[in-house]
Amino acid sequence: MLEDRDYMRQPDHYRPQWSFTVALVVVNTAVFLAELMAFNNPRGADFIDNYLALSLEGLWHGYVWQLLTYQFLHGGWLHLIFNMLAIFFFGRPVEAALGHTRFLALYLASGVIGGLCQMAAAFAWPGYFGGAVVGASAGGYGLVAAFAVMNWWERFTLLIYFIPVTMRGRTLLWCSIGLAAVGIVLTSHSNIANVAHLGGILTGFVFVRQFVQGRWPWPPWGTPSPRRVAPREFAVTRAGQGKFWRSAGGKPDEELSTDEFVKSEVDPILDKISAHGIQSLTAHEREILEKARNKMAKR
């Protein structure tokens, strides 16, 4: 039976349960409130700056825990809000695809490696990149990169300063890299840790390509696989709107028998699962599997 196959069973991390994404938002907010109270006391402010914020001097003294603690500190309300929005909106789909453990590993690794990159830049060019670093930006950018890689050819719409912008995952990744690179060149004297952002992006990219897709560094993406696109024909009146699908032969999905639907629509997805794992599926491919499950339930 179709519903007995492994790929049709809902993974545990898709069942309703506590979200690590929400937990990160809650913890970061709680730490920031504690940070505000601590700064009312000069000793508290000195403790945070010397022992918890990430700095080259702290690492020289062996305070390696700063690579973790700096990720939960923020320099102000706007700093916190923008980071939490990135974690919340990109973290949820990434966590759903990776599961709790790999999601948290990706997030923390992006922060740690981003912090190390920032400290390497501070060591090489102390006049440009010196100073203590705080914020969840590197981990957030790791989630953005992971989302972009897992949705490389998918179109989605983002609200950028309340303006809807439709793009593909690859565009999101290159825009993120471009913003970080421009920031490094043009705003090196600012309080923005652009080198940490770039380190987080590269970590998210490598993490998904190597540990999720198993495709690092090759094979390249190239163009969308004809096997994945066929036998569907995709027509769009506007990006993200007015979509309709026709299966091979011009039949809508609803007119196909269960066996025809499985052969034409599900089998190509099975090949993808076999090659790259269920985590590599796009949202639309998961919808096809759900539709196949519903067809089997009606038999």
Query: Is the C-alpha dihedral spanning 182, 94, 208, 26 positive or negative?
Result: positive
Q: In this structure, what CATH number is given to the domain that contains residue 68? A: 1.20.1540.10
**58 in Cβ contact with 121 (< 8 Å):** no
Candidates 151, 276, 63, 34; CA nearest to 268 is 276
User: Are 132 and 248 members of one domain?
Assistant: no
Range of the domain at 266: 226-297
**220 domain-assigned:** no
Sign of CA dihedral 181, 182, 188, 189: negative
Task: Say if residue 28 is in the same domain as residue 77.
Answer: yes
Examine residue 48 and state whether it is found in any structural domain, yes or no: yes
Number of alpha carbons in the 13 Å side-chain half-sphere of residue 52:
19
Residues 73 and 96 in one domain: yes
Domain membership flag for residue 79: yes
Which whole-number Å values give the CA distances from 158 to 38, 75, 168, 172, 201, in the listed order? 36, 26, 10, 10, 18
CA distance 273 to 279: 8
Residues 253 and 181 in one domain: no
Same domain membership, residue 50 and residue 169 = yes
Write out the two tokens for 213: 């897709």
CB 97 within 8 A of CB 151: no
Assess whether 151 and 235 both reside in one domain.
no
Q: What's CA 23's distance to the chain center, in Å?
A: 16
Within-domain flag for 20: yes
Q: What is the pLDDT of residue 237?
A: 32
Q: Are residues 199 and 265 in the same domain?
A: no
pLDDT in tens, the chain (299 residues): 444 444 444 444 444 467 999 999 999 999 999 999 998 888 988 999 999 999 999 999 999 999 999 999 999 999 999 999 999 999 999 999 999 999 999 999 999 999 999 999 999 988 888 789 999 999 999 999 999 999 998 888 887 777 888 999 999 999 999 999 998 888 666 678 999 999 999 999 999 998 888 776 666 665 554 434 333 333 333 333 333 333 444 445 555 666 666 667 777 777 777 666 666 677 777 878 877 777 666 66
State the alpha helices, DSSP H only, in the chain: 20-38, 42-47, 56-60, 66-69, 77-98, 100-124, 126-129, 137-150, 169-186, 194-207, 226-229, 258-261, 267-276, 283-297
Q: How many CB atoms lie within 10 A of CB 39?
A: 13
Within a domain: residue 144? yes
One domain, residues 185 and 265: no
Handedness of CA 237, 243, 246, 247 (dihedral sign): positive
What span, in angstroms and rounded, lies between the C-alpha atoms of 136 and 122?
A: 19
Listed in sequence order, the residues at least 6 apart from 91 whose beta carbon sits closer than 8 Å to its beta carbon are: 20, 21, 24, 103, 107, 143
Whether residue 185 is found in the same domain as residue 245: no
Question: Residues 201, 239: one domain?
Answer: no
Q: How many domains does the chain have?
A: 2
Q: Of 187, 212, 237, which residue is a domain's last?
A: 212
Q: Is residue 127 domain-shared with residue 201, that is, in the same domain?
A: yes
Q: How high is the pLDDT of residue 297?
A: 65
Give the domain-ending residue among 160, 182, 212: 212
Distances (CA, A) of 222 to 7, 170, 174: 26, 12, 16
Check whether residue 25 and residue 159 sit in a common domain: yes
219 belongs to a structural domain? no
**What DSSP string describes 145-159?**
HHHHHHTSS-EEEEE
Cβ atoms of residues 292 and 266 within 8 Å: yes
CB-CB neighbours of 79 under 10 Å: 18
Q: Look at residue 218 and tell me if it is in a domain.
A: no
- Asked which of 163, 179, 212 is the last residue of a domain, the reply is 212
Residue 217 within a domain: no
